[in-house]
Structure 1
Amino acid sequence: MAVPHSLPQRIFLLAYNPDKGRVGPGANLGAMLRAAALADLYRGGHLTDERGHAAIDVRRPCHDPVLDALLEEIAGSKPHTWQSWIGHRQRAAVRAVRQQLDDDGWVHLQPHKTLGLFHTTKVTIRDLRVRKELLGRVDTALHEPISSIDPADAALVAIIAAGDLRLVLDRKTRRANKQRIQELTELSEPIGPALHKSIQAAAVGEV
């Protein structure tokens, strides 16, 4: 079954709780989306790692508005670590990916008021089978031979694990697959470790 082409879109759909009809509170969604966009740029050869810093390798369009915007952001700035880029503009990343999913027909966005007072946006996945397909890819990455795993799926699991998205990987599953998750995280370097450090830093109030 077809799924969104980009990692940020896939992460957003996996963070969506179909039982509650929303992204669960406490999800490190913004950080995961920024990490996912960096992972796509890194895997696509747009970015390279230079002594722990994200650097533009070959400047060419991604034909993806979220990825192109991040690439432009990096091009117009002094060098930063991967961790630093993950910490930037997280709320904007959530809005941008959410809108992209709506534009591409994967979700439906509807203005909503919480308690009749607070303006929010209600997100509805148009076809829940898409999310089930993504869950199946996570399961495959955890159990199939490591050599057969799609690099995009390896990065997907690494980001979900580092972002502590328990809706997809609960504690029991993480414990049972600790070694495999570590292997997938190593395949995703430098993104997975940078996301873990970024979330830890945010938790203790570092900048």
Structure 2
Amino acid sequence: MTHMRFPYLLRAAALTDLLLSRRIADDKGKVRVVSEDELADPVLDGLLRQIAASRPRSWQHWISKDHHATARAVRDELETERWVRVELNRPFLIFSRSFVRVRDTRVVKRLAARLSSALTGPLSRVDERDAALVALAAAGEVRTVLPRAKRRAYKERITQLTDRGGPASPALRKVIRQLHATTAAVAGGGG
């Protein structure tokens, strides 16, 4: 199920990055462009252009729209910049699966430390990006950094950080719930 949530999570993270970079804003539940100045990031700039060319739409819409294309673009960019290594595995001739390996695991450890500090340190010292990081990890159910038990233990703190992290996290939570409901309906024969 993680692989199904991940593209939505990346899309929500990109929207959050645009929000924190003051390129977009929330306008009564809709995403509104406030600056079309590019960020020199192909994924973010492409998303910003896409939003600017559209009528106002909800955060959920933008999280769901083109989520697979965004995931591929992020993966390709990270591979080009040598942050990750993509390994292709073909267990059968028809099917292929790619595995993404982080080249420098210290980066992952630093992110985990920032997340842990945001959960346990003084709330006043948590910046908006770290608040958003926790909120997105919780909403996206990223069990490697926020397993269910930890999400339960820090539920109140996660709620406080989500309030500071912007509207993409609550919208991502709704998208993930819809994904769960659809998956359950299909598995149960209801779809």
- Larger fraction in helix: 2
* Structure 1 partner of 2:103: 126
Tell me how far 1:111 sits from its aligned partner. Answer: 3.1
Could you tell me which of 149, 160, 170 is aligned with 1:172?
A: 149
Matched, 1:191 2:171: no
Tell me how far 1:183 sits from its aligned partner. Answer: 0.5
Aligned residues between the structures: 182
Could you tell me which of 99, 110, 120 is aligned with 2:76?
A: 99
- How many percent of aligned residue pairs carry the same amino acid? 41
Tell me how far 1:132 sits from its aligned partner. Answer: 1.2
Tell me how far 1:27 sits from its aligned partner. Answer: 5.2
Unmatched 5+ residue regions in structure 1? 1-23
Tell me how far 1:142 sits from its aligned partner. Answer: 0.3
Say whether the 8 Å CA contact 2:118–2:130 is kept in structure 1. Answer: yes
Q: Deviations over 1:72-114 (max 9, x none)?
A: 1111111110111111111111111111111111111233313
* Structure 1 partner of 2:55: 78
Q: Which moved more, 1:171-180 or 1:111-120?
A: 111-120
Inter-partner Cα distance in structure 1 for 2:165 and 2:141:
16
Q: Deviations over 1:177-198 (max 9, x none)?
A: 1111000000012111111112
Inter-partner Cα distance in structure 1 for 2:68 and 2:54:
19
Unmatched 5+ residue regions in structure 2? 183-191
Inter-partner Cα distance in structure 1 for 2:157 and 2:40:
33
Aligned AA (2:179): A
CA distance 1:105–1:197, change in 2 (3 Å): same
Per the normalisation by structure 2, the TM-score is 0.89
Say whether the 8 Å CA contact 1:82–1:191 is kept in structure 2. Answer: yes
Q: Which one has more relative contact order, counting CA pairs under 8 Å at least 6 apart?
A: 1
Could you tell me which of 45, 56, 60 is aligned with 2:33?
A: 56
Coordinate RMSD, CA, aligned: 1.5
Per the normalisation by structure 1, the TM-score is 0.83
SS in structure 1 at match of 2:143: coil
Say whether the 8 Å CA contact 2:11–2:62 is kept in structure 1. Answer: yes
